[in-house]
Amino acid sequence: MKNSPSILVIYTGGTIGMIQDAETGALKPFNFENIYEQIPVLEYLHYNIDFYTFDSLIDSSNMHPEFWIRLAEVIEDNYESYDGFVVLHGSDTMAYTASALSFMLENLNKPVILTGSQLPLGVVRTDGRENFINSIEIAAASKDDTPLIPEVAIYFENRLLRGNRTSKLNAENFNAFFSGNFPALAEIGVHVKYNYNYIRKPNFKKLIVHKNLNYNVAILKLFPGLSENTVKAILNTEGLRAVILETFGAGNAPTDKWFIDLLEQAIKRGVLIINVTQCKEGAVEIGKYETSVGLGKIGIVGGYDITTESAITKLMYLLGDGYNNETIIKLLNQSLR
């Protein structure tokens, strides 16, 4: 008989792991070893659940690439011992972490499900309880000994979304995440409905963990009135290797000569510039409007329908692996994970 699934829950911090101090009423992190007191129903799942708690728990606004490396190492060190991983994480930068992990964990063949909550687990109306239980169930789900979700995903409210396709959209609603350009991997109601056509297939190759991240990158968000000095300051940042240019609509930008010239000079100095739309749905189509023709001519790379979170972490990974610009441009145009 097959053993019950074993899941490693990795707690990084964030709202989900908080309870109210009985005396002061302040929120404080609780010890996950006592999870069965918080969520007694977990016993009924009959899974082997272990916990790894980071020694310094962080609000995810303090997330950093160095932390991603430690997180990837925890998964790597425990990869053979568990069927799946649930990462408890603050929601604020969860989409960045999910994107980063997806690129760092090449040949991932097991579920890495990130979840969190808008209300702490220790609060009566918490959304954390459902998010936690459903994430564990999804991380444990398999068919013919093969995990159903061999990829990095975010579970929130009632949907499982591909990690590197997701953004946080709502600071208040339980339904906080959005994936405008890719369907949900699973929808959870009375039944868990997996959208098998959209879930990656396992490749059964050995996990490779990429631990070099180069974060000499920047995001330049366009707005009407953006000044020459600001653009200059960003593009002339010392050591800068790549910039996400967050454009309007289908990848459009002002046609002012000073603007195009500054971008062109940066590209000539070897800075990669990727055109990512500010829209949450739809894609960049360089050349569709006159206002993007100039961008294409000077060698800006079209990000198509990538999220900013995914683009910035994909760049960190590709730059960190030491590829030359030509190869990075080729890989930016491919779906790697």
Catalytically annotated residues: 15
Closest to 116 (Cα-Cα) out of 15, 254, 19: 15
CB of 176 to ligand ASP, least distance (A): 8
Please count the other Cβ atoms lying within 10 Å of the Cβ belonging to residue 151. 25
Mark the segment that binds ligand ASP (CB under 6 A) among 55-63, 207-215, 294-302, 329-337.
55-63
Q: Which is nearer to ligand ASP, 128 or 294 (CB)?
A: 128
Q: Is 59 in the site for ligand ASP (CB under 6 A)?
A: yes
Query: Which tokens sit at 167?
Result: 């953004």
Mark the segment that binds ligand ASP (CB under 6 A) among 12-20, 44-52, 129-137, 224-232.
12-20
CB of 93 to ligand ASP, least distance (A): 6
How many residues touch ligand ASP under the rule CB under 6 A: the total is 10
CB of 118 to ligand ASP, least distance (A): 6
Give the burial string for 60-83 (b: 16+ CB within 10 Å, else e). beebebebbbebbebbeeebeebb
Q: Is 56 in the site for ligand ASP (CB under 6 A)?
A: no
What are the two backbone dihedrals, phi and then psi, of residue 221, each rounded to the nearest 5 degrees?
Answer: -95, 125
Strands 48-53 and 142-143 turn out to be unpaired
Which residue has the closest beta carbon to ligand ASP? 90
What is the contact mask toward ligand ASP in residues 108 to 127, using x (rule: CB under 6 A)? --------x-----------
- Helix, strand, coil content of the chain in percent (nearest 5): 35, 20, 45
CB of 154 to ligand ASP, least distance (A): 12
Distance CA 275, CA 287 (A): 12
Instruction: Please list, in sequence order, all residues whose beta carbon lies within 8 angstroms of the beta carbon of residue 195, skipping any fewer than 6 positions away.
Output: 183, 184, 185, 186, 187
Mark the segment that binds ligand ASP (CB under 6 A) among 84-92, 143-151, 256-264, 308-316.
84-92
Q: Which of 61, 227, 229, 335 binds ligand ASP (CB under 6 A)?
A: 61
Which residues 139-198 are close enough to bind ligand ASP by CB under 6 A? Answer: none
CB of 278 to ligand ASP, least distance (A): 22
Q: Which is nearer to ligand ASP, 61 or 227 (CB)?
A: 61
Q: Is 15 in the site for ligand ASP (CB under 6 A)?
A: yes
Q: Which is nearer to ligand ASP, 179 or 252 (CB)?
A: 179
Distance CA 275, CA 305 (A): 10
CB of 337 to ligand ASP, least distance (A): 23
Mark the segment that binds ligand ASP (CB under 6 A) among 2-10, 57-65, 264-272, 278-286.
57-65
Q: Which of 91, 102, 179, 275 binds ligand ASP (CB under 6 A)?
A: 91
Q: Which is nearer to ligand ASP, 91 or 252 (CB)?
A: 91
CB of 153 to ligand ASP, least distance (A): 17
Asked whether the beta carbons of 178 and 167 are under 8 A apart, the reply is: yes
Residue in the structure block whose two tokens are 């930016």: 332
Helices (H), 180-333: 228-235, 257-268, 290-297, 308-320, 325-332
What are the two backbone dihedrals, phi and then psi, of residue 28, each rounded to the nearest 5 degrees?
Answer: -140, 155
Asked whether the beta carbons of 98 and 164 are under 8 A apart, the reply is: yes
* 252 secondary structure, DSSP code: B
Residues across the chain: 337
Q: Which of 5, 14, 122, 302 binds ligand ASP (CB under 6 A)?
A: 14
Contact set with ligand ASP (CB under 6 A): 13-15, 59-61, 90-92, 116
